[in-house]
Structure 1
Amino acid sequence: MLIRELTEEDYLESMKLSEYAFQYKVPESDIPARLDRLRNHKVLGIWDEDTLAAKLHIYPLSIFMRDAEWKMGGIAGVATYPEYRRNGYVNTLMIDSLKRMRNNEQIVSLLHPFDISFYRKYGWEILTETKKITIEKKDLKFLEPQPGLIRRFSKETHNEEIEKVYQQYGTQFTGMLKRDSYWWKQHVYDEDSQMAVYYNPDKEAIGYILYQVKDKKMEVQELVALDHEARIGLWNFMCQHDSMVDKVTIQLTSQDPFPYFLKQPNVKIELHPYFMARVVDAEECLRRFPFLHENESLFLHLEDSHAAWNNGSYLLNMGELKVFKEKTGGQCVHPPKKGIHLTINSLSAILFGYKRPMELFEMGYLKGSKLEIELFEKMVPILKSAFIDFF
């Protein structure tokens, strides 16, 4: 089974497969721009003679792990024509993508799942939830006036101030995408998007909403606020639309305090799992992770059924990491049996802050003594995962 990276001559075939698999049609006028975007991807394909049978895209991106940046491979566009399904093509592409991402130093990977259980088999785990709240017109009640002001922008007038607000916000979390200006213009804004930015009295941009108003509905696609002043100022701006809309929907990170502080917090709230994440290179991730170093050591025995290089035992020892892996044709020092046994899924959930070690232990996902789990709980800082983009 031959995997080949697509060249520009193959991009039209890739687009046709996407159209068939995901049931949409690219307008003729949009085809050149669509094909041009593929230059920023690595597209892997499996061919049947001259026919592209299956494909997978890898976006070369980076994410914030709080104030650090990690290279990330974004998986997207996984598709197969029906006549080639159940032949193991996607399985082959997924495993090959892990090898290529590791070789490219993309130490973690994110994707948006069509089915969570499918990607869990390959080691990806839930990264975060998205929270959508729906507010009826009658509940658009102003809060106390704020001293700042709102200015509106569009895709054409987008500026660096907005990007700085997002970056400051993103470094509060694990998993948030590092955006450049190209990403903002190509992937964040759409034709109907508007941007309302809140400035404090010192004329500093400290929050924004990306939104649309149409058909008597205001849809807030992003709300980013660096403090509560900005959050209230942006809420009051939404309330200013009370003569124009019948309802407001807001997409939020799951940790956002909306709607607790509203006059009427009893609103419709929908919480859904969103993106998934995976550790691609466990050794590198464990070296970079900001463990809180206790005066004790702890062994992690890791199992990864699709990335063999991650299998092994890792000793966390007061700021140092020692690795024990099986060697072929040589003698290997074996670690003790004590320690925590876990899969790559559980390690991914812990390092991104989606689940705590004790939570996973109580659900049976971590194996070890209660004392070892309690120590691991102390060593892992409390983190908040989030992701508000799409690819």
Structure 2
Amino acid sequence: MLVKKMKEDKYKEAIQLSEYAFQYKVPLDEIEKRIERMKKNHILYGILEDDVLVAKLHLLPFEIHLGEQKWKMGGIAGVATYPEYRRKGYVKELLTHSLHVMKEEGYTVSMLHPFSIPFYRKYGWEVLSNRLKCTFTKSDLVMLPTDTNTGKIKRYRDVSDFTDLSTVYDQYASTFSGMLVRSKDWWEQITEGLHAAIYYEDIVPTGYLLYSIKDSKMEVEEFVALDKGARNGLWNFICQHDSMVNTLEIITNERDPLIYSLVNPNIKMEVSPYFMTRIVNVEAFIKQYKFNKSRESVKIKITDTFAPWNEQTFLIGEEKSSNHSEEMEMTINTFSSLTFGYKRPRELYEAGFITGKKEQIEKLEDLIPIQQTYFYDFF
């Protein structure tokens, strides 16, 4: 077997490979911290030639929110090969191996950030969510009405207690499919170097910002509000920086009500696909997934070249009779997309990604809950 689980003595080589492949440099005083994080959170798989690490993949054990449910998720990161060892099938070996490992260890789904969407689509991953980047000028910073009697903002340069941030985030994340379940260690990692502002309604946290300010530019990495009061209060806090900033950027989801509520919503907006997901084990996924209650059932034939255990026909819904002669066919990509909620069955059928009769598609529409996908994190 080419792929092996790497021991800690190869972690520094893994960092060097990432530096070369992704064209960045880890400061010398940061290397030990990176290695400690890898010891704690990463499982490193690699391919060696002459005892040199020439290709690698990091598997990160996570959980995600899928609505109110929490799912075990295998995060794929740091996939890299030195150029002189490319086109030998090493990445294919690493990804295929990781799928087998995740199935055996009970990971129902997997996610990754792609350097190339077409590349990872070949292996069964599909787009999970889009990101919306909004760019504002100073003239756009017009305050909104808010109740100043009960709402207040607390600003933090360095966050040491993540309880209030986590309380807001968990409620927000449970309204989406795909959001990461964040540990204290993860909070420490993602807030490093950022300011935080938390909005309180009386003493209850109902929203927060994670942001930075540099060279007259404010970048809001996370704008999370649970209601109108928090949304307007956080926006007004941003507007109070109008003497300090010329440009504001906010990363948020496409359905966030913030932009619509502004005095002038005519701003620069850029939507781009972000993370990808794939179902690792369809049978286990179907058992856990909360389909809508329906008196109908459908048969779905799945194609999954790199996880052959998924290449079956699955019955979804309450079986009314044993006569299910009609079935739909789709790839694991399509099944992942529609069950997470990135695309609806009708959309995928009209685009040619599902084959079958239209009446079967309508039954599937009834079975799949309407969900919004989103993902804020990066790994």
What TM-score, normalized to structure 1? 0.93
Distance 2:363 2:130 in 1: 27
| Aligned counterpart for 1:165 among listed residues 160, 168, 173 | 168
* 1:180 partner amino acid: S
For the 8 Å contact 1:60–1:72, the answer to whether it is kept is yes
* 1:214, distance to aligned residue in structure 2 (A): 1.3
Gaps of 5+ in 2: none
| Aligned counterpart for 1:189 among listed residues 188, 191, 194 | 191
Matched, 1:347 2:328: no
* 1:337, distance to aligned residue in structure 2 (A): 4.7
| Aligned counterpart for 1:358 among listed residues 332, 346, 350 | 346
SS of the equivalent of 1:100 reads helix
Distance 1:136 1:33 in 2: 37
Q: What CA deviation, in whole Å up to 9, does each residue of 1:65-110 have, x standing for no partner? A: 1110000000000000111000000011111110001111111000
Report matched runs for 1:1-391 at 5 Å: 1-39=1-39, 40-147=41-148, 148-186=151-189, 188-191=190-193, 193-201=194-202, 203-318=203-318, 337-391=325-379
* 1:359, distance to aligned residue in structure 2 (A): 0.3
* 1:287, distance to aligned residue in structure 2 (A): 1.2
Distance 1:156 1:363 in 2: 46
- Count of aligned positions: 375
* 2:355 partner amino acid: K
Distance 1:226 1:379 in 2: 28
Distance 1:389 1:247 in 2: 23
Against the structure 1 CA distance between its residues 146 and 62, is the aligned structure 2 distance closer, same or farther, given a 3 Å change threshold? same
* 1:52 partner amino acid: L
* 1:254, distance to aligned residue in structure 2 (A): 2.1
* 2:295 partner amino acid: N
* 1:51 partner amino acid: V
Q: What CA deviation, in whole Å up to 9, does each residue of 1:108-140 have, x standing for no partner? A: 000000000000000000000000101110111
Distance 1:339 1:154 in 2: 57
* 1:38 partner amino acid: M
What TM-score, normalized to structure 2? 0.96
* 2:231 partner amino acid: R
SS of the equivalent of 1:266 reads coil
SS of the equivalent of 2:258 reads coil
Structure 1 vs Structure 2 CA RMSD: 1.4
Distance 2:70 2:104 in 1: 18
* 1:288, distance to aligned residue in structure 2 (A): 1.2
Against the structure 1 CA distance between its residues 158 and 214, is the aligned structure 2 distance closer, same or farther, given a 3 Å change threshold? farther
* 1:286, distance to aligned residue in structure 2 (A): 1.0
* 1:107 partner amino acid: T
SS of the equivalent of 1:348 reads helix
Q: What CA deviation, in whole Å up to 9, does each residue of 1:303-340 have, x standing for no partner? A: 111100001011123289x9xxxxxxxxxxxx955111
* 1:351 partner amino acid: T
Identity %: 46
For the 8 Å contact 1:63–1:177, the answer to whether it is kept is yes
Task: Name the stretch that deviates more: 378-387 or 140-149.
Answer: 140-149
